Structure 1
């Protein structure tokens, strides 16, 4: 049999745990922060086990240089409207680049950082 005092302690502990969990979820679900890259600039980093590059289809196919693992390309791209940036990975011995995906960028609103991540078996990108 649980005493009234012990039952109150259990209820207080459960309530405190629930309150802390709600705070943690609230912090994790906060609004996304702005890019750390200055307006008009693009940064492409090869942070995985492979080289990477990006192309700008609305700019006649302009592309960054190929960025080796551990390095970054950083450049002024300007811009005053939304445009796609296509991100690719290059693996040694692979006959063609791997399409990592497409991000959208507007240099008058923000800059963008793109990180090519992962390995040849699990590749992806993220932005900041």
Structure 2
């Protein structure tokens, strides 16, 4: 393997480790706050578990977010969108679409999945 290949591999590994460490820190954020640049933050405020994915950002997704908690994801510099899903709180736990939000990564997005499973909706925070 050439020296250049080794340097590229080391840089990629360092960037991945930094991204994962940043995600772990962001995942502990509190309930309601204004948007932070390059961060997609979702809080679950309804009577159901929620999660989000950002398809244009490599398919990143939050873990399952139980009511009263939040999760954040880093986003790259571009205009993108996030899909927010809920899980029915019955035995089968099928998912349903709460909504889709379009935003600029440089501005970030902070919001909450609210309501009940039959009237779920998104609310922008901050």
TM interval, shorter chain, is 0.5 to 0.7
> Residue 125 of structure 1 corresponds to which residue in structure 2?
122
| Structure 1 residue 113: Cα displacement | 0.9
TM-score with structure 1 setting the length: 0.65
Task: After superposition, give the CA deviation of every residue in 1:52-87 in whole Å (9 maximum; x if it has no partner).
Answer: 010011123221111001111124x13211111000
Asked whether 1:116 is paired with 2:113, we answer yes
* Runs of 4+ with deviation above 6 angstroms: none
Give TM-score scaled by structure 2 length.
0.66
Cα offset, 1:102, TM superposition: 0.8
Unaligned runs of 5+ in 1: 1-34
Deviation at 1:121, TM superposition (A): 2.2
Q: 1:74 to 1:95 in 2, by over 3 A?
A: closer
Where structure 2 has 5 or more consecutive residues not aligned to the other structure, the ranges are: 1-32
The total of aligned residue pairs comes to: 92
Task: State the superposition RMSD in angstroms.
Answer: 1.7
**Aligned CA distance change for structure 1 residues 114 and 94 (closer, same or farther; 3 Å):** farther
Alignment of 1:1-128 (within 5 A): 36-75=34-73, 77-92=74-89, 93-108=91-106, 110-128=107-125
Tell me how far apart the structure 1 counterparts of residues 69 and 84 of structure 2 sit (CA, whole Å). Answer: 15
Pair 66,95 (structure 1): closer, same or farther in 2 beyond 3 Å: closer
Quick one: distance in 1 between partners of 2:101 and 2:92?
24
Structure with max Cα Rg:
1
